[in-house]
Amino acid sequence: MEFKDRLNNYIREIDGYLKVFFPREEDIPRDIIEAMEYSIFAGGKRLRPILLIEGAKSIGGNIKRVLPLACALEMIHTYSLIHDDLPSMDNDDFRRGKPTNHKVFGEGMAILAGDGLLNYSYELMINNIPKDIVEMKNYIEGMKEIARAAGIMGMIGGQVKDLEYEGKDMDIDTLHYIHSHKTGALIRASLRAGAIASGANNNELTALTIYGEKLGLAFQIVDDILDIIGNVAKLGKPIGSDKDNKKLTYPNIYGLEESKAIIDRLLSEALEAISIFGSKAKFLEELGVFICKRDY
């Protein structure tokens, strides 16, 4: 089977786990369940849960044990999108071709749906702490990794900087802070938390961390390139003709060809790092190639 088909099967598998772990208690007001479901089942690529599970697999971990962490991560990611789309934040009306949460359910409910998902992600993690003492301790370390990456030292910190610099010129350090915190922190934590919860040693963790950081950056550059190419195709404007091209991005700083070379370098560094896992990291290898070789 082609990698793309296997990836789609994997995504459907995660969707199934998310449904299993989704709250169903009768006592909960219907409206908030609907608002939460709307965004969590809006066609996400499930990158974070997949990375978490593959992080665990790379060191031979028990997948079933880390599923609550994987699903919690996706809920955290989804809440952050709902809040990020709000009028007082990025003010987006559409996401993945569908109206954003607040456009459908109203701003108040969208804020509560985000809060609900964030809180529920912790309920899910805490309620599924394993009973076995060794597994329990490892799992708790995995939770710490996720909690820190999701908070003001990680993702929320990145959102704050992003909000502060909206419409303002930023230097390369700020851009790097935003990338590495707003999206990088959760991606890094996905790979690490699955492995930590499975009892990874330092070498193994370092390898996954390098893979996560290189791939996170490569992913960002690919996105920037696709943005430019997309704009050129859509608007019929040559590159460099409008103000968007003044945005601080790798393609704008280094040019298209050099950016592609950087992606290739990041990919080979990422693959080199996880080579210590041999065939247990096969999926991570293929995923890295898939992400870096998207059409451009």
| Site of interaction with a copy of itself (CB under 8 A) | 23, 25, 27-29, 31-33, 36, 79, 83, 86, 88-89, 106-109, 111-112, 114-116, 118-120, 122-123, 126-127, 129, 133, 136, 140, 143-144, 147-148, 150-153, 156-157, 159-161, 163-164
* Minimum gap (Å) between residue 149 Cβ and a copy of itself: 10
Assess contact for 85 and 92: CB atoms under 8 A.
yes
To a copy of itself, the closest distance from the beta carbon of 155 in angstroms equals 9
Distances (CA, A) of 213 to 38, 143, 231, 260: 30, 20, 27, 17
C-beta closer to a copy of itself: residue 16 or 151:
151
Report the distance separating Cα 169 and Cα 166, nearest Å.
Answer: 8
The DSSP string of 240-284 is: TSSGGGGS--HHHHH-HHHHHHHHHHHHHHHHHHHGGGGGGGHHH
Shortest distance (Å) from residue 29 CB to a copy of itself: 4
Q: What burial class does residue 122 get, using C-beta atoms within 10 Å of its C-beta: 0-12 exposed, 13-18 middle, 19+ buried? A: middle
Are the beta carbons of 49 and 13 closer than 8 angstroms?
no
| Residue 167 to residue 198: CA distance in whole angstroms | 43
For a copy of itself, give the closer residue by CB, 147 or 187. Answer: 147
Smaller CB distance to a copy of itself: residue 5 or 25?
25
Write down the least CB distance from residue 173 to a copy of itself, Å.
Answer: 13
Question: In which residue are the tokens 């997948």 written?
Answer: 63
Is residue 209 within 8 A of residue 188, CB to CB? The reply is: yes
**Smallest separation (angstroms) from a copy of itself to the CB of 56:** 19
Question: Which residue number, 158 or 199, has a Cβ lying nearer to a copy of itself?
Answer: 158
Nearer to a copy of itself by Cβ, of 85 and 204: the residue is 85
Cα 266 to chain center, whole Å? 18
Question: Quick one: how many helices (H) and strands (E) in the chain?
Answer: 14, 2
Query: Please, what is the minimum distance in Å from the beta carbon of residue 164 to a copy of itself?
Result: 6
C-beta closer to a copy of itself: residue 127 or 268: 127
User: Measured from the CB atom, is 161 or 280 closer to a copy of itself?
Assistant: 161
Minimum CB distance to a copy of itself, residue 156 (Å): 5
Q: Which residues pair with 237 in a beta bridge?
A: none
